[in-house]
Amino acid sequence: MPRYVMESAPAAVTVISGKRYLYFGGTGYYTLQNHPSLLQAATAALARYGMHPATSRGGFGTTPLYVAVEAAYARFFGAEDAAYIASGYLCNLAGLQALTSAARFGAIFVDRGSHYSMTDLLPALGLPVVPFAYRDPENLRRSLRAHLRAGQRALVVSDGIFPLMGHLAPVPAYLEVAAAYDAVLWLDDSHGVGVLGERGRGTCEHYGLASERLLFGGTLSKAFGAYGGVIPGRKDFVRAVRAGHVMNGATSPTSPAAAAALAGVELLAAHPEWRIQLWNNARMLKSGLRRLGLPVEDSPVPIAAWALESAQRMDGVQRALMARGICIQRARYVGAGPAGVLRVVVFSTHTAEQIGRLLEELQRVL
């Protein structure tokens, strides 16, 4: 596959290898990465603090910026507190270390489709790891029954939205099974936070779920247009996250990133209409793809992906679209077979005409 070089910020129109494309890739769901308020905040923080970690355990503590980021995300999620983590990738490690340090679990049950940042860390927790079938609560129930000994508690982990295909996890069913076994359910909600739910709180809010046994973390590098990860939750849980290895052992995001994270959450809190626009765009895209005969789910998740019969055919479709000035992803990632998939991401800032044009051109080249 040719190597494309992105030469502008991700936006509905993005410069790639010297040419402007109608762009349907990446994860900048509101294209905040290039929003003037975010750029201004990051630039001001850079001028004030330099390229310095926003908080430094080895130095003289934290910055007002870091404190403000944590308070703003706690407010956004309606949580008692929130921890601002070095990266989205490290959220699962930080969250699960805090959970396993506070309570004893007999085993960890992981949805097989979960992101690398989940599956790679599980052996480090020192508990038996039992994978269960993708988005299959009955298989989870059978696994719990088969692997838990009397008196043992389980930790069940999954992505909230699986990143490649944009599928939602069946969180209500997972929670029901978890409750029957007094288990705790942890979600990597990197693609749900800022995107789903009435207030943008993510997959749990989308499903209307709140429970002491349901916790999550997610990245700030997608919907929020910034960098780092966040874990909202109860005070005691967030305190345990802060006391853990990740927050003490990894450099925090830098001050410009923290300033961007603050601007990003303030923008999303102030503009719920962007979320509605994003969901409408997702529905328009997905219903259009289904009309073309492509098997994509109906949901407000702004990601659609599908496989065609061969890698060559998918390469050909992507190249044909590039030749027509449209960029979609040809992705090989967790959740795809060896041939990979074609993947389209829609932003709140795409117009109906731009989505319509993608669908027309796809119809021509499929």
Nearer to ligand PLP, 84 or 89 (CB): 89
Q: Count Cβ atoms below 10 Å from residue 181 Cβ, excluding itself.
A: 17
* Smallest distance, ligand PLP to C-beta of residue 180, A: 26
Q: Work out how close the CB of 285 gets to ligand PLP at its nearest, in angstroms, rounded to a whole number.
A: 19
- The minimum distance between CB 214 and ligand PLP, in angstroms, equals 17
CA neighbor of 168 nearest in space, from 225, 206, 123: 206
Closest CB 61 distance from ligand PLP, rounded Å = 24
In the bound state with ligand PLP, the residue whose beta carbon lies nearer, of 219 and 281, is: 219
**Judged by CB, which is closer to ligand PLP: 21, or 224?**
224
Task: Give the nearer residue to ligand PLP in terms of CB position, either 246 or 362.
Answer: 246
User: Cβ closer to ligand PLP: 21 or 162?
Assistant: 162
Residue owning tokens 């590098």? 221
Min CB(278)–ligand PLP separation in Å: 17
End-to-end CA distance of the chain: 19
Q: How far is the CB of 189 from ligand PLP (least distance, A)?
A: 8
Pick 87 or 254: Cβ nearer ligand PLP = 87
Q: Min. distance of Cβ 159 from ligand PLP in angstroms? A: 5
Output the 3-class SS for the chain: CCCCCECCCCCCEEEECCEEEEEECCCCCCCHHHCHHHHHHHHHHHHHHCCCECEECCCCEECHHHHHHHHHHHHHHCCCEEEEECCCCCHHHHHHHHHHHHCCCCEEEEECCCCHHHHCCHHHHCCCEEEECCCCHHHHHHHHHHHCCCCCCEEEEEECECCCCCCECCHHHHHHHHHHCCCEEEEECCCCCCCCCCCCCCHHHHCCCCCCCEEEEEECCCCCCCCCEEEEECHHHHHHHHCCHHHHHCCCCEHHHHHHHHHHHHHHHHCHHHHHHHHHHHHHHHHHHHHCCCCCCCCCCCEEEECCCCHHHHHHHHHHHHHCCEEEEEECCCCCCCCCEEEEECCCCCCHHHHHHHHHHHHHHC
The nearer residue to ligand PLP, 203 or 255, going by C-beta atoms, is: 203
- Nearer of residues 55 and 219 to ligand PLP, judged by Cβ: 219
Residue closer to ligand PLP by CB (options 187, 238) is 187
* Selection from 193, 202, 217 nearest residue 90 by Cα: 217
Partners of residue 345 on adjacent β-strands: 303
Within 10 angstroms of residue 283's Cβ, the number of other Cβ atoms is 15
Give the residue closest to ligand PLP by C-beta. 88
Question: Which residues lie near ligand PLP (CB under 6 A)?
Answer: 87-89, 115, 117, 159, 163, 188, 190-191, 219, 221, 229
Cα gap 17→250, rounded to integer Å:
34
Q: How far is the CB of 229 from ligand PLP (least distance, A)?
A: 6
* Cβ 185 to ligand PLP shortest distance, Å: 16
User: With respect to ligand PLP, which residue has the nearer C-beta, 218 or 288?
Assistant: 218
CB of 42 to ligand PLP, least distance (A): 16
